[in-house]
Amino acid sequence: MHNIALEKNIIIPDFSRIIQTLVYSSLYLSFAGGAMVFLSCSLQDLAFSPVAALIMILVTYGVYNLNRKTDEAEDMMNHYERYHFTKKHGSFLYRSSILSYITAAGIGMIYGTEALFMTLLPLIAGILYSIPIFPKSIGFSRIKEVPVLKSLIVALAWAIPPAFLPVYLSSTLPGFSTYIVALFFFILVFTSTVVFDIRDVKGDIASGVRTIPAMLGKERTVVLLSVLNISAGLVIVYFGLEGLPSPQVLFLLLSMVYVQCYLIYSLRENITKMIYEIFIDGKFIILMGVYALLCCLWI
């Protein structure tokens, strides 16, 4: 009995470390970038593009690890476990993130100007978001310091590339479904960005970072996001009915339900940070599984 208990104690911490490594190194989030391409191709009735998925995986890894470097002060207050991990492995993460983005840009360049622009868009947004490049005389030095605008920039930067990259790589033009997918991604990324601000509201207030939850409070923020999610969800489903098959429309509806569930859940106190990382940051991995299951059940 003692040996069995000992084995469990050895296995569980090892499994926990694996999860932490995947999440804190942004590898898990990078896979979510690839999942966005899968969903984009599926919803637009395009053949899955491994190249577009690879670009998004590399771009996500590169941008988020560079962002961790510039946001160390906030991370130390809001997410010490991740801060400790990124400090410990900082040199490797920094170098590999630069190499990752250079590789992604090189691949994008091969496929033309549009593909290259889509590849560089998250990096451009990341620079505007995290690096103090504006004169303080205008009231802020980083986009991150401007409430609402920072969430809009993040949402646009991560909604447009996965929606348009598969289109440009397949040498076709964006269609009606491309814009539906872009709006779908935008709503999901925007809401999750603000939900993370809800999680970090105490640290943000202490460090002087103005966010929507810091100004409105948690409850009002969730109400605002719920109105946005439900309204946008109805619009997406309505227009989706015009040009998408029934399983895809049902998937869009279920996605909005998923978002609403974690919006309500975010009001709870003392939520484990890893819950946010797995179920909110990794939402597109989970939704990819939901879509695959729906397709299997629909046949």
> For tokens 């104690």, what's the residue?
9
Structure confidence by residue, pLDDT tens digits, 36-76: 999 999 999 999 999 999 999 999 999 999 888 777 767 77
DSSP for 157-180 reads HHHHHHHHHHHHHTT----HHHHH
Three-state SS across 206-230?
Answer: HHCCCCHHHHHCHHHHHHHHHHHHH
Question: For the residues 258-271, what does the mean pLDDT come to?
Answer: 90
Region 22-48: mean pLDDT is 96
Residue 292 identity: A
pLDDT for 174 equals 94
Supply the pLDDT for residue 179.
94
26-298: which CATH topology?
Farnesyl Diphosphate Synthase (1.10.600)
When mean pLDDT is compared across 15-24, 200-209, 254-263, the lowest value belongs to: 200-209
10 Å CB burial of residue 287 (0-12, 13-18, 19+) is: buried
DSSP code for 1: -
How far is residue 259 from each of residues 95, 218, 250, 253, 287, measured CA to CA in Å?
A: 34, 16, 14, 10, 11
pLDDT at 7: 47
- DSSP letter assigned to residue 278: I
DSSP 3-state of 89:
coil
| Spatial distance between the Cα atoms of 103 and 166, rounded to a whole number of angstroms | 18
CB 17 within 8 A of CB 166: no
Q: How far apart are CA 195 and CA 197, in angstroms?
A: 5
- pLDDT for 299 equals 55
The pair of three-digit structure tokens given for residue 14, joined into one six-digit string: 């090892």
